[in-house]
Amino acid sequence: MTSPVLIEGHVYFFTRSNRFTCLDVESGEERWTSPPTGDEYWSLVARGDRILALSQSGRLYLIAANTSEYEVLDEARVTDEETWAHLALAGDQLFVRSHSALIALNWR
């Protein structure tokens, strides 16, 4: 269900085994895979060398597009409800839809 993001020849995506993975597009080589996250779904958006990942449990992760290792730079709970919708990004505005609310955040 999760759409991957492509950054400088590497694809980052959330797997069926509930892990986050980086692959080299040209060679198909797996660069790294995270430990299990405890979530069944992450929605991803990217800008520059940063990835925002929203878990279905309502946590937002800022992840470095680092080809050497899984590197979470920051995280925050943005809702107490489950969030299965895809993140929406418009300029600096980030939109998160939970079951009963639409949350607008700034990503600068």
Say if residue 52's pLDDT is above 90: yes
* CATH code of the domain covering residue 24: 2.40.128.630
Domain count, the chain: 1
Question: How distant, in Å, are the alpha carbons of 6, 62, 73 from that of 93?
Answer: 21, 15, 20
Q: What is the pLDDT of residue 83?
A: 92
Which of 59, 58, 55, 57 lies closest to 20, judged by CA? 55
Which of 45, 39, 73 lies closest to 59, judged by CA? 39
Say if residue 1's pLDDT is above 80: no
Domain span holding position 95: 5-106
pLDDT in tens, 68-99: 999 999 999 999 999 999 999 999 999 999 98
Confidence of residue 48 (pLDDT cuts 50, 70, 90): very high
Say if residue 2's pLDDT is above 90: no
